[in-house]
Amino acid sequence: DTEVTQTPKHLVMGMTNKKSLKCEQHMGHRAMYWYKQKAKKPPELMFVYSYEKLSINESVPSRFSPECPNSSLLNLHLHALQPEDSALYLCASSHDRDAGYTFGSGTRLTVV
């Protein structure tokens, strides 16, 4: 298995909702990442997990809460989001921080 699987592919949520994005990989990668990408912009790093521990938080608002239950899974819990949080959320994994990344197909999030 050489893929990073993200679910759901699309999500529409209200500003008072709580939802979660899920990411799964079975390549044995020990580093996993969440990125946010706005239209026609490059991805922006949000969080990095290394060996299931949060190693980097790029000053992301607390309404985004990451979780790494095990070495294959990465979640992003969403609560009280704003319309400007609407974007493509990408998960990626790599063998280590300097190795090539495998990106998932992303979750298209719309906050209404």
Partner 1 sequence: KNQVEQSPQSLIILEGKNCTLQCNYTVSPFSNLRWYKQDTGRGPVSLTIMTFSENTKSNGRYTATLDADTKQSSLHITASQLSDSASYICVVSDRGKLIFGQGTELSVKP
- The site for partner 1 (CB under 8 A) is made up of 4, 6, 40-43, 45, 88, 90, 92, 96-98, 100-106, 108
| DSSP-assigned letter for residue 50 | E
- In this complex, which beta carbon is closest to partner 1, that of residue 37 or of residue 71? 37
- In this complex, which beta carbon is closest to partner 1, that of residue 6 or of residue 47? 6
Nearest-approach distance from CB 103 to partner 1, in angstroms: 4
Nearest-approach distance from CB 84 to partner 1, in angstroms: 19
Nearest-approach distance from CB 110 to partner 1, in angstroms: 12
What number of other Cβ atoms are within 10 A of residue 9's Cβ?
10
> In the numeric block, which tokens belong to residue 68?
């790494």
Residues 6+ apart with CB under 8 A from 8: 21, 107
Q: What angle do CA 18, 67, 92 make, to 5 degrees?
A: 105
